[in-house]
Amino acid sequence: AQSVTQLGSHVSVSEGALVLLRCNYSSSVPPYLFWYVQYPNQGLQLLLKYTTGATLVKGINGFEAEFKKSETSFHLTKPSAHMSDAAEYFCAVIVIQGAQKLVFGQGTRLTINP
Amino acid sequence: KAGVTQTPRYLIKTRGQQVTLSCSPISGHRSVSWYQQTPGQGLQFLFEYFSETQRNKGNFPGRFSGRQFSNSRSEMNVSTLELGDSALYLCASSAGALNTEAFFGQGTRLTVV
């Protein structure tokens, strides 16, 4: 069963506009949550992670995400989009089945319009 | 500190052949995981090795196998290649403890013709 769902396979915003990428997780998993970014022909780079503590997590490149247990959400935001933000973004959770593994959402491709 | 190194970056193989991909984790990391990325299925977990032992395995056929050496380097092997095995294969290394960050390599792009 999928443990994380990303809403919207494609998101397009104008340069300078707010970026909002949505991620919901199934409540049966531990709340170890991650956002990764993937540029074309590259591997995945960690943007930010939530494990415990403060629910608002700040990451690299001006991104942040808020863990909301009541909504089982971990949406990614950035106040002002830059052309260099164009990439694919993956939300992921750690699932423990014997040993742990990362389970990824389907990804959201972010396009930035000039 | 060197990152995760995957070799080769690109590979073209013929149906029925076998292939071996290599991953060198970050120094000191003992956990190596492998993922398959395709446009249709997204990122799917293949298996994870820790200190030369397979700790976890995804839902892939037995044609997909792996191993880890004493220096934590890992290889994955796919035998009897099928067209559907064409994908980007990503390796990730971590210290191995729960919720620690996984660092990814740039991947090996395998094309089966």
**Residue B97 pLDDT:** 66
Per-residue pLDDT band at B68 (split at 50, 70, 90): very high
Per-residue pLDDT band at B67 (split at 50, 70, 90): very high
Gap from B5 CA to chain A (nearest CA, Å): 11
**Residue B9 pLDDT:** 96
Do B55 and A106 lie within an 8 Å CB cutoff?
Answer: no
Q: Distance between CA atoms of B48 and B66, rounded to whole angstroms?
A: 9
Q: Which candidate from B101, B107, B109 shows the least CB-CB separation from A46?
A: B101
Average pLDDT over residues B80-96: 94
Q: Distance between CA atoms of A76 and B46, rounded to whole angstroms?
A: 27
Do B90 and A36 lie within an 8 Å CB cutoff?
Answer: no
The percent of residues in chain B predicted with pLDDT above 70, rounded, is: 96
**Residue A83 pLDDT:** 96
Q: Do A78 and A108 touch, CB atoms closer than 8 A?
A: no
Structure token digits, residue B14: 């013929």
Average pLDDT over residues B61-65: 97
Q: Distance between CA atoms of B36 and B81, rounded to whole angstroms?
A: 14
Average pLDDT over residues B13-40: 95
Per-residue pLDDT band at B96 (split at 50, 70, 90): confident
Do B42 and A102 lie within an 8 Å CB cutoff?
Answer: no
Do B56 and A41 lie within an 8 Å CB cutoff?
Answer: no
Average pLDDT over residues B38-54: 92
**Residue A98 pLDDT:** 65
Low-confidence ranges of chain A (pLDDT < 70): 1-2, 27-30, 97-99
Q: Which candidate from A49, A100, A104 shows the least CB-CB separation from B98?
A: A100
Per-residue pLDDT band at B80 (split at 50, 70, 90): very high
CA–CA–CA angle A60, B6, B3 (5° rounding): 40
